[in-house]
């Protein structure tokens, strides 16, 4: 029984990590006042670049960084549209959600002989499990501790990123400036804060983090990229951000909740005698997403200037 619980927790952590990266990308953008619903497309491109670079280089860390860089460029594109041209941030985000998969599929066909999925990454090219050797040497394989602790490096990095983002937001002057720009950009501008530069940095970083989230899927959860690999993970990350009320700790719990849904689905799909249709199991995370949005969206408080373009010459904006 304890081992089964450990299995569910372990799977939950593995699936929660990509959501944590991506949700941190969403929150850092929205705390600066720019809505980023393009996380799905950024995650998509990150997943492909991670798998492709991982396959050709054999180095998961180079692949991980390349995925962040590629999706960061999409973040930069979103920043140009939303900040420099004061465009509609929702429409720009939707466009990113089409551009990301489009580029990924185009490059996949170009690099893998017309296929829309990459070739599997060799085991040595996958993201490592830092404690695998230690747990094996202690003969703790197949125990509760091993099920929970024997995770890919991306899981630990996701928790570290949660702490770093929390620390920046609430313990540093830079974080205070981000929150000020997201709440009242005109007042922040009056105090000498460069609103445009800060939003550029945050939106670009949101792309980088979403790319890390996508690479976590293709380099750790599975070992390749396929057109259905992401399938709504970016939107689930957005739901986790709303569930967490735009706060890193709350977002972490939201991602763990969605990860637990995945863990439960995997457990019920292969380790119990209870017969549940696979279609129902695969729907479970999305049903939870809908419930979260229905129950928590009215109780959540987004930054006051979230989604409002800032123009110095305008007098009717925040």
Mean pLDDT of 198-213: 97
Structural domain for 131, as ranges: 1-296
Backbone angles phi, psi at 218, to 5 degrees: -85, -20
Residues 6+ apart with CB under 8 A from 263: 7, 8, 9, 10, 11, 12, 15
On whether the pTM is more than 0.75, the answer is yes
- Position 314 scores a pLDDT of 52
Tell me whether residue 94 is in a domain: yes
- Position 301 scores a pLDDT of 81
Tell me whether residue 39 is in a domain: yes
For residue 315, pLDDT over 60 is answered with no
- pLDDT tens-place string over residues 235-247: 999 989 988 899 9
- Position 317 scores a pLDDT of 47
For residue 283, pLDDT over 70 is answered with yes
- Position 231 scores a pLDDT of 86
- Position 105 scores a pLDDT of 95
Tell me whether residue 173 is in a domain: yes
Helix axes 2-31, 39-57, angle to 10 degrees: 120
Tell me whether residue 302 is in a domain: no
For residue 39, pLDDT over 70 is answered with yes
For residue 296, pLDDT over 80 is answered with no
Count of C-beta atoms within a 10 Å radius of residue 129 = 17
The total of structural domains in the chain comes to 1
Tell me whether residue 307 is in a domain: no
For residue 274, pLDDT over 70 is answered with no
Tell me whether residue 317 is in a domain: no
Count of C-beta atoms within a 10 Å radius of residue 194 = 13
- Position 211 scores a pLDDT of 97
Alpha helices (H) in 58-152, listed in sequence order: 60-79, 89-111, 132-137, 144-149
Across 93-107, 139-153, 268-282, the highest mean pLDDT is recorded for 93-107
Tell me whether residue 40 is in a domain: yes
- pLDDT tens-place string over residues 69-98: 999 999 999 999 999 999 899 999 999 999
Residues 6+ apart with CB under 8 A from 240: 19, 23, 251, 254, 255, 257, 258, 292
Give me the CATH number covering residue 201.
Answer: 1.10.3470
Mean pLDDT of 212-240: 92
208 compared with 278, residue with greater pLDDT: 208
Average pLDDT, the chain: 89
Tell me whether residue 304 is in a domain: no
The whole-angstrom separation of Cα 305 and Cα 138 is 53
- pLDDT tens-place string over residues 153-190: 999 999 999 999 999 999 999 999 999 999 999 999 99
Share of the chain above pLDDT 70, in %: 95
């Amino acid at each position: 029984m304890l081992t089964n619980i450990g299995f569910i927790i372990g799977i939950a952590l593995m699936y929660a990590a990509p959501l944590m990266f991506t949700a941190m990308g969403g929150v850092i953008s929205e705390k600066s006042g720019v809505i980023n619903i393009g996380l799905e497309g950024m995650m998509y491109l990150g997943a492909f670049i991670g798998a492709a670079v991982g396959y050709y280089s054999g180095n998961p860390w180079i692949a991980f960084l390349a995925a962040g860089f590629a999706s960061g460029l999409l973040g930069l594109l979103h920043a140009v549209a939303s900040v420099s041209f004061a465009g509609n941030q929702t429409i720009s985000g939707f466009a990113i959600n089409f551009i990301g998969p489009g580029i990924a599929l185009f490059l996949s066909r170009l690099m893998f002989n017309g296929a829309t999925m990459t070739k599997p990454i060799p085991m040595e090219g996958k993201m490592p499990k830092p404690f695998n050797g230690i747990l094996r040497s202690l003969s703790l394989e197949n125990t509760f501790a091993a099920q929970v602790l024997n995770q890919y490096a991306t899981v630990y990095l996701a928790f570290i990123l949660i702490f770093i983002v929390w620390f920046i937001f609430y313990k540093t002057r830079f974080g205070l400036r981000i929150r000020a720009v997201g709440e009242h950009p005109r007042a922040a501008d009056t105090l000498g804060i460069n609103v445009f530069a800060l939003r550029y940095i945050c939106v670009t970083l949101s792309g980088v983090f979403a790319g890390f989230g996508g690479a976590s899927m293709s380099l750790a959860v599975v070992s390749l990229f396929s057109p259905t690999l992401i399938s709504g993970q970016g939107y689930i990350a957005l739901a986790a951000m709303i569930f967490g009320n735009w706060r890193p700790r709350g977002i972490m719990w939201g991602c763990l909740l969605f990860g637990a849904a995945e863990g439960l689905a995997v457990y019920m799909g292969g380790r119990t005698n209870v017969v549940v249709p696979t279609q129902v199991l695969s729907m479970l995370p999305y049903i939870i997403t809908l419930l979260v949005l229905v129950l928590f969206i009215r109780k959540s408080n987004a930054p006051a200037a979230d989604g409002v373009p800032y123009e110095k010459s305008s007098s009717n904006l925040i």
